[in-house]
Structure 1
Amino acid sequence: MSRPMSAHDQALAKSRPNHRKYVFLGLFVLLVIAGWSAFWYVSYTKTQSLIDRLMARQINGTPVLQCQNQTLGGYPFRLLLTCSSYTAQNAQNGWRVEGGAFRAIWQIYTPNLALIESDTRLTISHQPSGQTFDMVSSLMRGSVRFSPTEIISRASFEAANPTVTSNNPAFSNMLGEIKADSLAFHARPNPDESNDLDLSMTATELAAGSFPIVSGQFGVTLIEGLSASIRNQGNPARAWLQQSGEVKDINGHVDIGQKTLKLNGDVSFDQQGLANGLVKLKILNPSVDAATAGKTLSAKRDGLNGPLTALQLMGKPVKDGDLIGSEVDIKLKGGNIQAGFLPLGRLPAIQ
């Protein structure tokens, strides 16, 4: 006959299932950590291999990309590449981009997409001509997406409070120092034709030289802009002119003083790099609610209000949503810009 269990034995019997539960839970957590670590390491290995291949690329024996004091880490939730400074250059055409501290972040489940943050100074230089373009801003960031063949398939760049200067005489004489509250550039293959390049630019409170302050966005499609035949040319711009030279789907929206400008059209460049084409320009007045009769005008914001109003008189009346104005045909021929009989200037040739 078995003796009755004591209170101590009963307590031990009740505690055993709880101990097993904690053991199983601990083993499960260890398995999850081990599995996640293995997954992270596989992503790390693939990313390191991608970085090594990119860094190994050369043009005329010169590395295309350089990352000083390179490190790759970020365990456990991401991948983080850091450089104390960076350089991207093309030894064929002499263009070079360089900057200070740089870091790129990948989520481990999207190793082909890198989010980038860099030092607040960027320099673009053309060594054969000695031209330099410098940008200083409070924040620089962007993103780059790579295709399976390590070709950059999409890129974006954003700068907060940028200031751009250059030693190029034509640039500095016309635009001087460029400042903006924000500036962004985006590039990607056209969704319908992968050899075409979509480019867009967005700016807020952009001021350049004596020109009035503007805000807006502008987009174009460069036909054959990503053609394989021009990617490694010494002068991609010249190669693109020979390949196509066509700019399609020009689309812009700009607020300047009291006017809103909208433009669309197509332009082609001849073998000399001179523009030819037709652009439809809508010059729209503010809505009745937005207009203020007693508003004080300033040259910095409204300096083109008079010329734009005069240009409106040459167009046909149009309505765009709540805005009313006129549409003017802007013709480009051999680089010359003209509205009706009125010459508006000249676009420099693409070299």
Structure 2
Amino acid sequence: MARSSSQAGAPRRSSAARALRGLIILVVILVALGAGGWYWLAGELDRRIASALEAAGGGGATVLCENRQVFGFPFRLGLSCDRIGVEAPQNGVSASAGSLRTAAQIYDPSHIVAELAGPALVTAPNLPPLHLSWRLMQGSTSLWTQGLERFSLVVEAPVVSVREGEGAGAPLARSERLEAHARQNGAALDLALTDAAVTATLPGLPELPPFDLAADLTLDGAAGWLRTGVPGANVSQALRGEAGTIRLLSLSLPGGGGAQLSGPFRVSQSGEVSGDFRLAVEDPQSIAGLIGVLVPGTGGLATTIAGALGFAGRQEDGKTVVDVQVREGEARLGFIPLGRIPRI
């Protein structure tokens, strides 16, 4: 006797219902595992931050992260502080700033983005108390098993001022946009910097015309600086004994005039610079005057080079180009002595 259609369909509906229940159970298990994994990672992040803060205290520095919280469930993992600060009395350095927010996607926790609110108050040896402000400051990092692999920072409308109490006094410098980038390249460290529309008012000097800065260089053996910081927290000392290549060091004036320097270099243990450089200049006298103010001790050298460009330079793309040799701080244009570069 033939089975009715309702009798034939019942087993199929029963199988589909069991499959649906199994799928729902699987989804619930996966969600539970994902939630558990997020909370484990959040706890691990908080423990590591607490450990880092404690280690900094043991090294003589105090690092502040007020109202520390881990957030972002379920797809992001982030850390926020209402206020951050650093006190390093052994170096005479203290700094504080506003709220900090960092975040990483849960599927790519090695890539971290951050945003810091201003202003920042900084005290450091040989500097007046500083007040730093900005419209927006954002950074990003890439971390791997051996630590920090690359770092980027973008600051819109930065202003550096002398601090008066907790507020800003006379501004020293400002610009439209500052960008800084660093990355490991094998054993080397690649560095890049741009600062657009810089204006500076230095005490005792007239206000400088607006200018743009750009730098792109490699330090041959400095990859570890990203993981452990600049040795001794002193860039000048850390550069001694290092070598590298300047791909571009540029200074330009919006109204005309500019200089571009490139070439390999090395720094002796005593801070003397050596290298073979290509220097391209447009409107040499304007650039020489600006360099003499920005880099103390180089005014005479810059003026001498500007004067030598007229008879020793060659024309390339509207610029006057010379090849400058520097040996242990002594700069020469062929057999013509130009002067000394100050020690780093």
User: Do they superpose with TM above 0.5?
Assistant: yes
Deviation of residue 186 (structure 1)? 1.7
Write 1 or 2 for the structure with the bigger share of helix: 2
Task: From the superposition, tell whether residues 88 and 238 of structure 1 become closer, same or farther in structure 2 (CA, over 3 Å).
Answer: same
Task: From the superposition, tell whether residues 235 and 266 of structure 1 become closer, same or farther in structure 2 (CA, over 3 Å).
Answer: same
Q: How far apart in 2 are the matches of 1:309 and 1:130? A: 32
Q: How far apart in 1 are the matches of 2:89 and 2:148? A: 19
- List aligned pairs for 1:65-144, cutoff 5 A: 65-126=63-124, 128-129=125-126, 131-144=128-141
| Most deviating of 324-333 and 70-79 | 324-333
Counterpart amino acid of residue 209 in structure 2: P
The CA RMSD measured in Å over matched residues stands at 4.2
Deviation of residue 80 (structure 1)? 1.1
Which residue of structure 1 lines up, in the alignment, with residue 297 of structure 2? none
Q: How far apart in 2 are the matches of 1:59 and 1:335? A: 41
Q: How far apart in 2 are the matches of 1:94 and 1:235? A: 12
Which residue of structure 1 lines up, in the alignment, with residue 321 of structure 2? 327
Pair 1:186 & 2:178 matched:
no
Pair 1:198 & 2:190 matched:
yes
Q: How far apart in 2 are the matches of 1:130 and 1:216? A: 22
Contact 1:43 1:108 in 2 (8 A): no
- List aligned pairs for 1:284-303, cutoff 5 A: none
Pair 1:211 & 2:208 matched:
yes
Aligned residues: 313
Consecutive unaligned residues in structure 2, runs of 5 or more: 164-169, 202-206, 292-302
Task: From the superposition, tell whether residues 166 and 185 of structure 1 become closer, same or farther in structure 2 (CA, over 3 Å).
Answer: farther
Q: TM-score, normalised by structure 2?
A: 0.71
Deviations 1:36-91 (A, max 9, x none): 22332343344334323322223664345331111112110010100011124545
Which residue of structure 1 lines up, in the alignment, with residue 41 of structure 2? 43
- List aligned pairs for 1:137-176, cutoff 5 A: 137-148=134-145, 151-166=147-162
Pair 1:177 & 2:172 matched:
yes
Task: From the superposition, tell whether residues 64 and 239 of structure 1 become closer, same or farther in structure 2 (CA, over 3 Å).
Answer: farther
Task: From the superposition, tell whether residues 61 and 235 of structure 1 become closer, same or farther in structure 2 (CA, over 3 Å).
Answer: closer
Pair 1:313 & 2:310 matched:
yes
Which residue of structure 1 lines up, in the alignment, with residue 295 of structure 2? none
User: Any idea what SS the aligned residue of 2:74 has?
Assistant: coil
Deviations 1:267-313 (A, max 9, x none): 4445554545443211369xxxxxxxxxxxxx9xxx99xx9997753
User: Any idea what SS the aligned residue of 1:263 has?
Assistant: strand
Consecutive unaligned residues in structure 1, runs of 5 or more: 168-174, 286-298
| Most deviating of 308-317 and 98-107 | 308-317
Contact 1:59 1:90 in 2 (8 A): no
Pair 1:251 & 2:245 matched:
no
Contact 2:246 2:261 in 1 (8 A): no
User: Any idea what SS the aligned residue of 1:26 has?
Assistant: helix
Contact 2:220 2:244 in 1 (8 A): yes
Contact 1:312 1:325 in 2 (8 A): no
Counterpart amino acid of residue 196 in structure 2: T
Counterpart amino acid of residue 251 in structure 1: L
Deviations 1:198-246 (A, max 9, x none): 3221122222233332335202333444568x9686453464255x154
Contact 2:186 2:223 in 1 (8 A): no
- List aligned pairs for 1:249-288, cutoff 5 A: 249-257=246-254, 258-259=256-257, 261-271=259-269, 273=271, 275-283=273-281
Contact 2:314 2:322 in 1 (8 A): no
Q: How far apart in 1 are the matches of 2:154 and 2:42? A: 27
Which residue of structure 1 lines up, in the alignment, with residue 167 of structure 2? none
